[in-house]
Structure 1
Amino acid sequence: MEPTTGNVSDFINGVASPVRRRDAHTLVELMSRITGEQPAMWGPSIVGFGSYHYKYASGREGDAGAAGFSPRKAATTVYLPDGIGAHTERLARLGDHTTGQACLYLKDLGKVDLGVLEEIITESYQRVTAGPFGQRAADSGGPASPPGR
């Protein structure tokens, strides 16, 4: 996937939910600081920062956003390309969240520890940008975690 020409500010300002819109502005600041990259639209609804190259044992390879999020209707999705299983200990300290294989779902950043979220995003970004990344999110250390407390 490649970045598109969409305008990040226009996209975020068009988010209907005031909570998701507020959280999107916070995540742009946080991810820009962590990655040193400017935000770019990846497709119609993902705000991404930087890119990484992946190459799996199967031979499949390509490029994808190294950090990113999408303010969806039900929750803001934070993408962790190295997989949720790589962050089990920190997720236990994060606060209110749910997960998928490579997705962290946050309904309100006011209910999570932003310092822990920064640690998670930083570690994920550093891991996938260190060189060709060969691990699929599904292989990152176990099943999806239960909702955080």
Structure 2
Amino acid sequence: MEKSAADVGTFLEAVAPAVRRRDAGTLLEMMTRVTGESPVMWGPSIIGFGAYHYKYASGREEDAPAAGFSPRKAATTVYLADGTEAYAEQLERLGAHTTGVVCLYLKDLSKVDLGVLEEIVRDSYERSSREGFGIQ
């Protein structure tokens, strides 16, 4: 994945529906505060904070944001580089969500516990920012 020169603010202005745009503003503030990093576009639709390098068992290597999200039409995707499984206990307390291997899907932040979400984002960012972190 590569960083983009696209402007985060311009991207967010075009987000639809309105609930995704609202939630994106909340996540932008939260992730900026939690990571201490400035937001950067990664590809055409991911807002990332910091970066980590990973290597697959196949030998393929790539950089990715250490924390990030993408306001998609169906749901906002929060990326957890260390995987959603690591947060099973917190996810039980989070509220309305679904998950993939490294993706947390949120349709409406007003239906989740933002304190729990912040805890998950902070822990994932700290783990993925550590030297030597990688997907095997």
TM-score range, shorter chain: over 0.9
Kindly report which structure 2 residues correspond to 1:53-72, keeping only aligned pairs within 5 A, or say none: 53-72=53-72
Contact residue 80 and residue 102 of structure 1 kept, 8 A? yes
Please provide the CA RMSD for this pair.
1.1
The reply to whether residue 43 of structure 1 matches residue 35 of structure 2 is: no
Question: 1:85-125 CA deviation, whole Å, 9 max, x = no partner?
Answer: 01000000000000011000000000000000000001100
Contact residue 52 and residue 65 of structure 1 kept, 8 A? yes
Query: Match for residue 5 of structure 2?
Result: 5
Query: Match for residue 104 of structure 2?
Result: 104
- Structure 2: stretches of 5+ with no match in the other structure: none
The reply to whether residue 119 of structure 1 matches residue 119 of structure 2 is: yes
Kindly report which structure 2 residues correspond to 1:79-94, keeping only aligned pairs within 5 A, or say none: 79-94=79-94
One-letter amino acid of the counterpart of residue 44, structure 1: P
Cα distance in structure 2, aligned partners of 1:25 and 1:56: 33
Q: TM-score, normalised by structure 2?
A: 0.95
* 1:58 positional shift: 3.8
Cα distance in structure 1, aligned partners of 2:129 and 2:5: 23
- Structure 1: stretches of 5+ with no match in the other structure: 137-149
Question: 1:11-64 CA deviation, whole Å, 9 max, x = no partner?
Answer: 111012110000000000000011111111101111111101123444332211
Contact residue 55 and residue 132 of structure 1 kept, 8 A? no
| Greater Cα offset, 51-60 or 15-24 | 51-60
Q: What number of residue pairs does the alignment pair up?
A: 136
Kindly report which structure 2 residues correspond to 1:13-32, keeping only aligned pairs within 5 A, or say none: 13-32=13-32
Query: Match for residue 142 of structure 1?
Result: none
Q: Secondary structure at 2:66's aligned position in 1?
A: strand
One-letter amino acid of the counterpart of residue 126, structure 1: E
Cα distance in structure 1, aligned partners of 2:75 and 2:134: 29
Query: Match for residue 95 of structure 1?
Result: 95
